[in-house]
C-alpha cells in the first residue's frame, strides 16, 4: 500500500471518528424525556423558520377578517402564556380552504381558515395550535433536519463504497436502500414527534383553560373529514385511532390541570 493511499484511509478513519464524536455530542433530551439528535444551531433554525414564514406570507393570502384574527389570537395568547418563552410570537391567519396549521422556529404560527371546518370549537383549535407550538418547544424541526442530514450522509457513504457495482441489481439495491432510509428511520421518527407534540399540546390547552377532552373530538372530526386517512405505516403522522387512544390514555393527567386552571373564564371568551 503506497503512502498516499494509506494517508487517505487514515484520514477517512479520523474523519469518521470526528463525525461520530460530533453526533454523540449533539444528543439532547426532549421535553418528554426522549433522546434527540440536534445538529443545527437553534439560531440558524430560527432564521430558517422566519425566512420560510415570510415566503409563506408572500405566496398565501392573509385573512383580513378582524373576527377570525381575534379568535385565533385569543386562543394562541392563552396557550403561549403556558410556555417559558411565550412573548414575541407572530401569529398569522391565512385565507385558505386547506385544513392546516403550523408553527416554525423563530416564533411563527400560521393557521389556515380551512382548519375551522374540523376544529369546530375554541378548545379543538387550541388542541391544534398547542400541538404545533409543541413541535417548536420540543425542537422537532431541528431534530428532523438533523436526522435528514445524517441519513443522507449515511446513504452517500454507502453509495461511495458501492460505486464499483453496475447494472440493474445495483440500481435496485440503491432504490431499496433509499426506501429503507425513508421508512426505517425518518417516518417512524416523525410519528414519535407527532405523538410527543400531541401530549405537549394536551398539557398546554388544559393549563390554558380549554377542555382537553375536546382534543379527542377534534381527531374524530379529522377522521370523518379524511374518510379514515391513509395507513399509519405510510404516514409521518400516527393514525387518527392511535392519536385518540393516546390522548384518552393521558386524559387523567390533563383533566386536573384544566379543572385547576385560572384561565377558564378567559378561554370561554375566545369565540368566532
Q: Give dist(CA 116, CA 121) in Å, integer.
A: 8
Longest Cα–Cα distance of the chain, Å, equals 78
Q: Give dist(CA 201, CA 132) in Å, integer.
A: 7
Q: Give dist(CA 271, CA 260) in Å, integer.
A: 22
Decide if 193 contacts 144 (C-beta within 8 A).
Answer: yes
Question: CB under 8 Å to 236, separation ≥6 — which residues?
Answer: 186, 187, 190, 191, 194
Indicate the SS3 state at residue 104: strand
Please tell me which residue in 32, 90, 132, 253 is annotated as part of the active site.
Answer: 132
Decide if 216 contacts 198 (C-beta within 8 A).
Answer: no
Lookup: cell for 145: 433536519
Instruction: Quickly list H helices, the chain.
Output: 3-25, 42-59, 66-80, 122-137, 140-161, 167-181, 187-207, 214-226, 240-249, 251-259, 264-268
**DSSP conformation class of 252:** H
Phi-psi region for residue 167, left (φ > 0), alpha (ψ -120 to 50) or beta?
Answer: left
- Answer yes or no: 132 catalytic: yes
Phi, psi angle pair for 166, to nearest 5°: -135, 165
Give the residue numbers annotated as catalytic, written as ranges. Answer: 132
Amino acid at each position: 500500500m503506497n503512502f498516499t493511499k494509506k494517508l487517505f484511509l487514515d484520514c477517512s478513519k479520523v474523519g469518521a471518528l470526528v463525525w461520530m464524536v460530533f453526533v454523540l455530542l449533539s444528543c439532547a433530551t426532549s421535553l418528554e424525556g426522549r433522546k434527540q439528535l440536534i445538529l443545527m444551531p437553534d439560531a440558524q433554525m430560527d432564521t430558517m423558520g422566519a425566512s420560510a414564514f415570510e415566503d409563506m406570507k408572500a405566496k398565501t393570502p392573509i385573512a383580513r377578517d378582524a373576527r377570525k384574527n381575534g379568535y385565533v389570537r385569543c386562543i394562541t395568547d392563552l396557550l403561549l402564556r403556558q410556555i417559558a418563552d411565550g412573548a414575541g410570537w407572530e401569529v398569522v391567519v391565512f385565507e385558505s380552504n386547506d385544513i392546516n396549521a403550523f408553527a416554525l422556529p423563530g416564533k411563527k404560527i400560521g393557521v389556515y381558515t380551512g382548519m375551522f371546518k374540523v376544529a369546530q370549537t375554541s378548545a379543538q383549535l387550541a388542541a391544534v395550535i398547542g400541538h404545533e407550538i409543541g413541535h417548536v418547544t420540543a425542537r422537532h424541526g431541528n431534530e428532523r433536519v438533523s436526522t435528514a442530514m445524517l441519513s443522507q450522509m449515511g446513504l452517500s457513504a454507502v453509495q461511495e463504497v458501492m460505486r464499483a457495482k453496475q447494472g440493474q441489481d445495483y440500481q435496485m439495491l440503491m432504490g431499496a436502500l433509499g426506501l429503507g432510509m425513508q421508512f426505517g428511520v425518518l417516518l417512524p421518527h416523525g410519528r414519535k414527534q407527532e405523538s410527543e407534540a400531541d401530549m405537549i399540546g394536551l398539557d398546554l390547552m388544559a393549563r390554558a383553560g380549554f377542555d382537553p377532552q375536546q382534543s379527542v373530538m377534534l381527531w374524530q372530526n379529522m377522521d370523518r373529514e379524511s374518510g379514515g386517512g391513509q395507513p399509519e405505516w405510510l404516514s409521518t403522522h400516527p393514525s387518527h385511532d392511535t392519536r385518540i387512544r393516546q390522548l384518552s390514555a393521558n386524559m387523567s393527567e390533563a383533566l386536573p390541570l384544566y379543572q385547576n386552571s385560572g384561565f377558564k373564564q378567559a378561554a370561554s371568551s375566545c369565540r368566532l
